[in-house]
Chains A and B, each alone.
Chain A
Amino acid sequence: GQQLNQSPQSMFIQEGEDVSMNCTSSSIFNTWLWYKQDPGEGPVLLIALYKAGELTSNGRLTAQFGITRKDSFLNISASIPSDVGIYFCAGQLSPGNNDMRFGAGTRLTVKP
């Protein structure tokens, strides 16, 4: 089936640094979504992207829908300790097809 490759698997950064992570696929996706998951909780939707080339921000977070529709990027600026968690990308396969694929996640650790 369709695979999403998310990288990096983990990141250890200093508070205040910027963070970048990405997802790539061999398949075209109609929608890209980015989530954050804290321990013991369900994922929380951060940003949703619906058009190739779209760039969307949510506070210090910015995500982009790749032009080829096969990739997406998430950037976090000026990281803070509460940014710690696992970030997942997800892709919706095609219009009218609500099947979803998730990346394996990027585990972010922020050192104060």
Chain B
Amino acid sequence: NAGVTQTPKFQVLKTGQSMTLQCAQDMNHEYMSWYRQDPGMGLRLIHYSVGAGITDQGEVPNGYNVSRSTTEDFPLRLLSAAPSQTSVYFCASGINQPQHFGDGTRLSIL
């Protein structure tokens, strides 16, 4: 049972590049969500989904897109990376709230 799997674990991008962070869960959870964690701050919700085909914005959605074509996968896309998006990104899944988190993707934008 893999739980929540995030890839890649580390990534360095140049300003303006695009990238997709992958998140997959094998627990058949309807709820999936993406967060960013910056030093000294709690997690901030970027986007979330309550089921395949349904997505909604969280607290800090600007600069990010998501889609939910299957129950298992919830990718996060950075359209044009900016230094302000340097952060650690966490994906989570659960029945109707974040119960299980992945180990994070550490993203640096130069």
> With a CB–CB cut-off of 8 A, which chain A residues contact B35?
102
**Are B42's CB and A42's CB within 8 A?**
no
Give a binary string over A24-53; 1 marks a CB under 8 Å from any B CB, 0 the rest. 000000010100000011111100100000
> With a CB–CB cut-off of 8 A, which chain A residues contact B58?
99-100
* One of B4, B41, B99 near A104 (C-beta < 8 A): B41
Known: A42-B102, A98-B48. A4 touches B56 (CB 8 A): no
> With a CB–CB cut-off of 8 A, which chain A residues contact B45?
99-102
Q: Please name the residue on chain A nearest to B91 by beta carbon.
A: A42
**Are B42's CB and A105's CB within 8 A?**
yes
**Are B97's CB and A43's CB within 8 A?**
no
**Are A98's CB and B43's CB within 8 A?**
no
A selection of 26 A-B contacts at a CB cut-off of 8 Å is: A33-B97, A40-B103, A41-B104, A42-B90, A43-B90, A44-B101, A45-B98, A45-B99, A45-B100, A48-B99, A88-B42, A88-B43, A90-B43, A90-B98, A98-B48, A98-B50, A99-B48, A99-B59, A100-B45, A100-B48, A100-B58, A101-B45, A102-B35, A102-B44, A102-B45, A104-B40
